[in-house]
Structure 1
């Protein structure tokens, strides 16, 4: 194994890793709050809103993420009448697909977290004179976070790996550069380097969520 060769392929792969990390950050930052809003919509007493939210979650969880990425990248412009206004850069289109897909998964996670909270918590907060908003922010959400952290950590790690799907729409991310190096040099080393880089990213996330779980377990 030549270290000179590894250093040669490392620079473009690090550039690809930047795209991978950027897509992860955009998706996680936007999908988590959107997922919580969808959860609230699913629990809404306004039936049409709840139905729409449930259908959204069903469709996004019931179809492959790759299909959604291809649809947003290449399908939206083909829609009649409005298609010409829905032409996005492939990174933007793929980012929309990631956010909408993971928001649906987070919505289900958060819904499960809220269902795990004893109804007595609401009654106790009401006795203490807390408003519904104060009850949600000060009582329910902190307990929900403690419950959903393990599942959220699992989804976050899956998201890092799913960014490799950007390869299918020719977005130059980590796997894109690894595959290009393999095709050019007929060596497997780029795949091993890419694997190590993915493992390092998931390790950082694992340690981060372990620290968060430890913190919330003492509260």
Structure 2
């Protein structure tokens, strides 16, 4: 059955159109059994000792869904490591692309879309990132790290890491390195007619900062 991979899940209406156009009828899939099998596979390396550790850590873990520019719930100088990948300008429609995950977890995708900060102008994006870095500097411990993952946009003309590095340093961090992963495209990119290393986001760039 022709469809798109989960990270580009088409809407039910769109899938029905695909089915009609290709004269295909998807067979029934036992989603419960599939989810259980996949979960067992993903968790196969977690033994009883690690399970107990995770259970203990879970008692003090905190999950926040808030604007990264203001996190008063997090004490100052309390964070060892921040790993983040902010929206790349307006390249990806995060809520629409993840409607299936939202549906499965009883999350309103439209509400998610309203809360995600996405802008089209680079200057506005940089202003938002600058405010985020000021908050990062407040919460990160001395000696702590940030791994800030970005990419290239506008057909490779704009490399966001080159703009992020000076912003982080302006906030008080030291840029230690930029790790670049040049990847071979998979099914998702080919579906959209994107040739490898020619269009789209061709590299992942992780800017490493230290306080």
Greater relative contact order: 1 or 2 (C-alpha under 8 angstroms, separation 6 or more)?
A: 1
TM-score (norm 2): 0.22
TM-score (norm 1): 0.22
Larger proportion of helix: 1
Larger proportion of strand: 2
